[in-house]
Structure 1
Amino acid sequence: MDQTIPAHAYRPDLVSEDFAIPSDTAGISLHLRNKRAAAQKAFSAERTILLVHGATYSSASLFDVPLGGRSFMDHLAAQGFDVFALDVRGYGGSTKPAEMDAPPQNSAPLVRTDVAVRDLASAVDHILRRRGIPRLNLVAMSWGGSVAGAYTAANNDKVVRLALVAPLWLLNSPAPIDSGGALGGYRKVPVLDFRERWLAAAPEAARASLIPEGWFERWAEASLASDPQGNAEHPRVMRAVNGPIQDIRDYWGAGKALYDPNDIRVPVLLVHAEWDRDVTMATTQDLFTSLTRAPYRRWVEIGEGTHMVLLEKNRMQAFDAISQFLAEGGPHGTPSH
Structure 2
Amino acid sequence: MTDNSDRTTTPRRAFLAGTAGTAVLGTAGAATGADDHRNEAERTNDKRRAGRQDREIASWKPTAHDLTMDDCHRLRVWERTTAADPDEAVIFVHGMTYGALPMFDPPVAEDFGWLRYAADQGLAAFAPDMRGYGDTELPAEFRSQPEANAPPLSFEREALDLLEVTRWLREDCGFDRIHYVGLSGGTWRGRAVYALGEPDYATVTLAGGSFDTLEVGTDPDGPAYLPHTREEFVEAWTGEIPTDADLDRWIGGDEYTADEVLDAVWKAIVESNQAIEDEPETIINPLVVQDREYHPEQITDPTFVVRPSSDETISRAGALNLYDAVGAEDDRKQYAEIAGGTHFMFLERKREEFFDAVNHFQDQY
TM-score norm. by structure 1 comes to 0.81
Question: Is structure 2 residue 267 aligned with structure 1 residue 225?
Answer: no
Residue 343 of structure 2 is matched in structure 1 by 307
1:64 Cα offset (Å)? 0.7
Question: Is structure 2 residue 66 aligned with structure 1 residue 20?
Answer: yes
What 5-or-longer segments of structure 2 have no aligned partner?
1-5, 8-61
SS at match of 2:203: strand
Question: Is structure 2 residue 84 aligned with structure 1 residue 40?
Answer: yes
SS at match of 1:140: strand
- List aligned pairs for 1:164-313, cutoff 5 A: 164-171=206-213, 183-206=222-245, 208=247, 209-212=249-252, 213=257, 214-227=260-273, 229-230=275-276, 232-243=277-288, 246-247=289-290, 258-294=293-329, 296-313=332-349
Q: Deviations over 1:34-76 (max 9, x none)?
A: 1111x512x43xx210111101100111001143532111111
Q: Is the 8 A contact 1:156 1:264 kept in 2?
A: no
What 5-or-longer segments of structure 1 have no aligned partner?
1-13, 252-257, 330-337
Q: Is the 8 A contact 1:186 1:241 kept in 2?
A: yes
For residue 130 of structure 2, what is the amino acid of its counterpart? V
Measure, in 1, the Cα distance between the counterparts of 2:158 and 2:211. 16
Question: Is structure 2 residue 180 aligned with structure 1 residue 138?
Answer: yes
Measure, in 1, the Cα distance between the counterparts of 2:263 and 2:186. 24
1:290 Cα offset (Å)? 1.4
Q: Deviations over 1:294-336 (max 9, x none)?
A: 451111201121111111111111111111111223xxxxxxx
| Aligned length in residues | 297
Q: Is the 8 A contact 2:136 2:273 kept in 1?
A: no
Residue 91 of structure 1 is matched in structure 2 by 133
1:149 Cα offset (Å)? 2.3
Q: Deviations over 1:164-207 (max 9, x none)?
A: 111243225x77x98x9x84001111024321232222321125
Measure, in 2, the Cα distance between the counterparts of 1:272 and 1:157. 24
Measure, in 2, the Cα distance between the counterparts of 1:162 and 1:229. 31
SS at match of 1:18: strand
Structure 1 residues 190 and 229: CA distance shift in structure 2, 3 A: closer
Shifted more, 191-200 versus 87-96: the winner is: 191-200
RMSD between aligned residues: 2.4
Residue 9 of structure 1 is matched in structure 2 by none
Question: Is structure 2 residue 140 aligned with structure 1 residue 101?
Answer: no
For residue 180 of structure 2, what is the amino acid of its counterpart? L
Residue 362 of structure 2 is matched in structure 1 by 326
Residue 10 of structure 1 is matched in structure 2 by none
Q: Deviations over 1:248-278 (max 9, x none)?
A: xx76xxxxxx222222111001111122122
TM-score norm. by structure 2 comes to 0.75
Measure, in 1, the Cα distance between the counterparts of 2:70 and 2:119. 29
Structure 1 residues 168 and 92: CA distance shift in structure 2, 3 A: farther
SS at match of 1:204: coil
